Structure 1
Amino acid sequence: MLYILLSICCSVAVSIMLKLAKRYHIDVLQAVTWNYSTAILLTWIIFKPHWVSLSVAPVNNLLGLGVLLPVLFVILGASVTANGIVRTDVAQRLSLFIPILASYFVFGENLHLIKIVGILLGVVAVLFSIPWGKSGGKAAKGGWFYLLIVFVGMGVIDVLFKQLSAFKTVPYTSLLFMVFVLCFICAVIMLVIKIASSKTKFSFPHILIGWALGIANFGNILFYLKAHQALASKPSIVFTAMNIGVIALGTLVGLFVFNEKLSMLNKIGIALSLIAVIVIFNF
């Protein structure tokens, strides 16, 4: 439970930084790129990982995460532009269905009735927590494609991390290090292309911003993996609690830090999320 709580806090911290980035016109791709350099350094200093032979590593999982994690940051930005924040948030949160289904069909978890009720409560809580009453703007032509990528991408990332945490041949710290290195390489390639096409200019302050973002992102992924290891036989608990927790804490931060307004539906959603967590963890 502690690992999930720490991962939730780090995840919300990342969201806060990205929200502030938009407010202060910060190039998200530059910040995201340098965030991975911090994650690499922290992993190296704290865990002293070794770069292992690809012949014994889960190459497909590593490559999938190494590409999906940085690319999805860019897709999220494109989706917000094309579809609005509300529609994009709906797609992101509903991705919960993919890892939950994977818990049953891929990881062979036994989902008894009470746990299914808790998961369904969590899904309802997610839907209720989204600010449906706010205008998200009209979706641009073809914008549905971005939403589909966000929905599938977020769900696939959750599943890939679960598979990575279950891999026993190589220490998870070494796998985490390799993921961050691959993410950094992919992000640098995207950034170079963007700079070469004159869509942005290199800015030193973005390195400092990226380093701060990297500390929170490192904690988010590290504790998420540890949670899956601690609850190896119950992946649905981690998947559901993370999504519910991020929504609940994120909503509270929005209310008290950013002075966002909550509708009655949002308040019901927070209450349902707490009930769902209790049901999932105690039955």
Structure 2
Amino acid sequence: MHYLALSITCSVLVSVLLKLARRHDIDVRQAVAVNYAVAASLCVALLQPSLDTLQRPATPWAVLIALGLLLPSVFLAMAASVRHAGIVRSDAAQRLSLFIPLLAAFLFFGQPLTGKVGAGIAVAFAALACLIGRPQQGPQAGDEGRGRWAWPLAVWLGYGVIDVLFKQLSKAGTQFAGGLLAAFVLAGIVITVTLLALRVRWTWRNAGAGVLLGLANFGNILFYIRAHQQYADDPAVVFAAMNIGVITLGTLVGAFAFHEKLSARNWAGVGLAVSAVLVLIG
């Protein structure tokens, strides 16, 4: 169970680091670029991916390139969501994205829709509506008000599409560790080239923040894999504990450590998000 606890902690720690970035004047773009260099290095050292599958003619490079473009984009969207909407809404939106592959499965891949999955998706959409509901006009109107619902929505959609792409990668026979390494490398190249084109001035301070971000980001992935290996006969427990754990810990950290104000509707959204996961694995 300690692997699950570590994975949950690392996942929420990513959001905490993104929350602290603005307070400490960190360029998140540079931190995200360094994060992928760290994550790729750790992937090679700890997962020891085989690159043979990437050299096959059937390697889905279109999917890998799409991941290379989406990963840094969604990471930056997550940073903006944490800044504008807070850790609670952002983490919940990210975890609710798991229902997008389920939607894709029966909309595009011919999988029949069961009552349980349909109910889970319905509850997930209700949770999302509560979490990202448009704020009332007033002090939070304008760009700030839009950010409180638009960025979590972007996080939900972006991570959901990434999940679909990783599933397509596995269906093509690409080894998980090899595909993950390729995605990290491509994502790092995309954001680094973008920053060089923008002539961004690199600093060691931002790089240091990127190292911390990369350690937390990869730690989340590594410990999640280890948890699935530990509970190989009961993957539903890992799935449920991970998603509910992140939503719960993210709520506690956001509400009590960062004093994020949540309406009754937002609290209902958090509860519905947990319920959606329980319905899916129930």
Aligned equivalents of 1:273, 1:246: Cα separation in 2: 11
Counterpart residue number, 1:64: 66
The CA deviation at 1:241 is: 8.6
Tell me the CA shift for residue 264 of structure 1.
2.1
TM-score, normalised via structure 1 length: 0.74
Q: Where do 1:1-283 residues align within 5 Å?
A: 8-52=8-52, 53=55, 55-74=57-76, 85=85, 98-130=100-132, 133=135, 136-139=140-143, 152-168=157-173, 170-194=174-198, 196=199, 200-221=200-221, 246-282=246-282
**Structure 1 residues 128 and 150: CA distance shift in structure 2, 3 A:** closer
Given that 2:31 and 2:213 are in contact with CA atoms closer than 8 Å, whether structure 1 keeps it comes out as yes
Counterpart AA for 1:164: L
* Aligned-residue offset at 1:132: 5.3
**What does the per-residue CA deviation read over 1:170-194, in whole Å, with 9 as the maximum and x for residues that have no partner?**
3211111111111111121012122
**Partners of 1:8 and 1:95 in 2: CA distance:** 16
Does the 8 Å CA contact 2:31/2:207 hold for their aligned counterparts?
A: yes
Identify if the C-alpha distance between structure 1 residues 171 and 96 changes in structure 2 by more than 3 Å, giving closer, same or farther: closer
Judge conservation of contact 1:68–1:157 (CA < 8 Å) in 2: yes
Deviation at 1:61, TM superposition (A): 1.3
Q: How far apart in 1 are the matches of 2:227 and 2:63?
A: 18
AA paired with 1:118?
A: G
Deviation of 1:206 after TM superposition, in Å, equals 1.6
Give the distance between the partners of 1:107 and 1:207, measured in 2 at CA.
42
1:99, 1:159 within 8 Å by CA — same for their partners in 2?
yes
| Contact 1:128/1:266 (<8 A) preserved | yes
1:203 and 1:119 mapped to 2: Cα distance? 44
Q: Deviation per CA, 1:183-232: give whole Å up to 9, x if none.
A: 111121012122x2xxx42111222211110122223445678899999x
Judge which range, 259-268 or 10-19, deviates more. 259-268
Q: Distance in 2 between matches of 1:184 and 1:154?
A: 17
Distance 1:151 1:251, change over 3 A: closer
User: Partners in 2 of 1:32 and 1:162 — Cα distance?
Assistant: 24
CA RMSD after TM alignment = 4.0
Whether contact under 8 Å (1:36, 1:181) holds in the other structure is yes
Classify the secondary structure of the residue corresponding to 2:270.
Answer: helix
Determine helix, strand or coil for the equivalent of 2:191: helix
Deviation at residue 261 of structure 1 after TM alignment: 2.6
**Is this contact kept in 2: 1:129–1:251, CA < 8 A?**
no
Count of residues paired in the alignment: 266
Identity of aligned pairs, percent?
43
Query: 8 Å contact 1:43–1:177 — kept in the other structure?
Result: yes
Runs of 5+ unmatched residues, structure 2: none
Change (3 A) 1:3 1:101: farther
User: What TM-score do the two structures reach when normalised by structure 2?
Assistant: 0.74
The offset of 1:256, in angstroms, is 2.1
Cα deviations by residue, 1:2-32 (Å, 9 ceiling, x for unpaired): 9887655433221111111022110001100
Q: Distance in 2 between matches of 1:125 and 1:257?
A: 23
Relative to 1, partners in 2 of residues 1:175 and 1:166: Cα closer, same or farther, differing over 3 Å?
Answer: same
CA distance in 2, matches of 1:80, 1:14: 10
Q: Structure 1 pair 182/223, CA: closer, same or farther in 2 (3 Å)?
A: farther
